[in-house]
């Protein structure tokens, strides 16, 4: 079992996340795509940790999880406050600021 496959998988997941952020319309889905990107990074880190034979990568993955959790708190608060006013979580509706 070569660890490289995990790196490829992580890269694919990262790309899916990045494309999702760019094409999806619902703020919650966009946010889930960001989380997917963060988790693909975790997979990359753990795989490199295995390849390099150091534990740093696994430790970093813990930090990433904690930061992602903090980001969820802030992000959902912002999305909720907008949703309660507009009754919609579509990011296309948030178009008052332009040009």
Partner 1 sequence: MIDSPSVSYTGLSPVLFVLGAALVGVLVEAFVPRAYRWGVQLGVALAGTLGALISVILIAGRNELTLSRAVAVDGPALFIEGTLALLGVLSLLLLAERSPDMGGSAFVAQAAVPVGTVRDRQLATLTYSQTEVFPLATFALAGMMIFAASNNLLVMFVALEVLSLPLYLMAGLGRRRRLLSQEAALKYFLLGAFTSAFFLYGLALLYGYAGTVDLRGIFDQAAGSEKSDALFVIGLAFLVVGLLFKAGVAPFHAWTPDVYQGAPTSVTAFMASCTKVAAFGAIIRVLYVGFGNNDWTWRPVLYGVAIVTLVVGSVLALTQTDVKRMLAYSSIAHAGFILTGTIANSPAGLSSTLFYLLTYGLTTVGAFAVVMLVRDADGEAGHLSQWAGLAKRSPLVAAVFSLFLLALAGIPLTSGFTGKFVVFRAGLEAGAAPLVVIALVASAIAAFFYLRVIVLMYFSEPAADGPTVAVPGLLTTISLAIATAATVLLGVAPGAVLDLADRAALFVG
Binding site for partner 1 (CB under 8 A): 7, 14, 17-18, 21, 27, 30-31, 34, 37-38, 40-41, 44-45, 47-48, 51-52, 54, 56-57, 60, 63-64, 67, 70-71, 74-75, 77-79, 81-82, 84-85, 91, 94, 96-99
Residues comprising the chain, all counted: 99
Contact 15, 7 (CB under 8 A): no
CB of 13 to partner 1, least distance (A): 11
Contact 13, 36 (CB under 8 A): yes
Placement of tokens 């802030």 in the chain: 74
Complex with partner 1: residue 1 or 22, whichever CB lies closer? 22
Placement of tokens 């693909």 in the chain: 40
């Amino acid at each position: 079992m070569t660890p490289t496959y995990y790196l490829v998988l992580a890269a694919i997941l990262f790309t899916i996340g990045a494309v999702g952020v760019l094409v999806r319309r619902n703020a919650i889905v966009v946010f889930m795509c960001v989380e997917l990107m963060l988790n693909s990074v975790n997979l990359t880190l753990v795989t490199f940790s295995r390849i390099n034979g150091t534990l740093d990568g696994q430790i970093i993955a813990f930090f990433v999880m904690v930061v992602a959790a903090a980001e969820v708190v802030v992000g959902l608060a912002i999305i909720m406050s907008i949703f309660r006013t507009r009754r919609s979580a579509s990011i296309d509706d948030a178009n008052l600021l332009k040009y």
